[in-house]
Structure 1
Amino acid sequence: MTVARSILLFLLAALAEIGGAWLVWQGWRENRGLLWIAAGVIALGFYGFVATFQPDPNFGRILAAYGGIFVAGSLAWGMVVDKFRPDRYDLIGAAICLAGVAVIMYAPRAS
Structure 2
Amino acid sequence: MPLRSVVLFVVAALAEIGGAWLVWQGVREDRGWLWVVGGVLALGAYGFVATLQPEAHFGRVLAAYGGIFVAGSLAWAVVVDGFRPDRWDLLGSALCLIGVAVIMYGPRG
Q: TM-score, normalised by structure 1?
A: 0.97
Unmatched 5+ residue regions in structure 2?
Answer: none
Unmatched 5+ residue regions in structure 1?
Answer: none
* Pairwise CA distance, 1:108: 1.0
| Whole-Å separation in 2 of the counterparts to 1:43 and 1:37 | 10
Partner of 2:72: 73
Partner of 1:62: 61
| Whole-Å separation in 2 of the counterparts to 1:56 and 1:34 | 36
Moved over 6 A (4+): none
* Pairwise CA distance, 1:3: 0.8
Matched letter for residue 98 of structure 2? A
Partner of 1:9: 8
Q: TM-score, normalised by structure 2?
A: 0.99
Partner of 1:52: 51
* Pairwise CA distance, 1:9: 0.1
Matched letter for residue 36 of structure 1? W
* Pairwise CA distance, 1:102: 0.1
- Root-mean-square deviation over aligned CA pairs: 0.7
| Whole-Å separation in 1 of the counterparts to 2:50 and 2:22 | 20
* Pairwise CA distance, 1:70: 0.1
Work out whether 1:97 is the aligned partner of 2:96: yes
Matched letter for residue 78 of structure 1? A
| Whole-Å separation in 1 of the counterparts to 2:60 and 2:108 | 13
- Matched-pair identity in %: 72
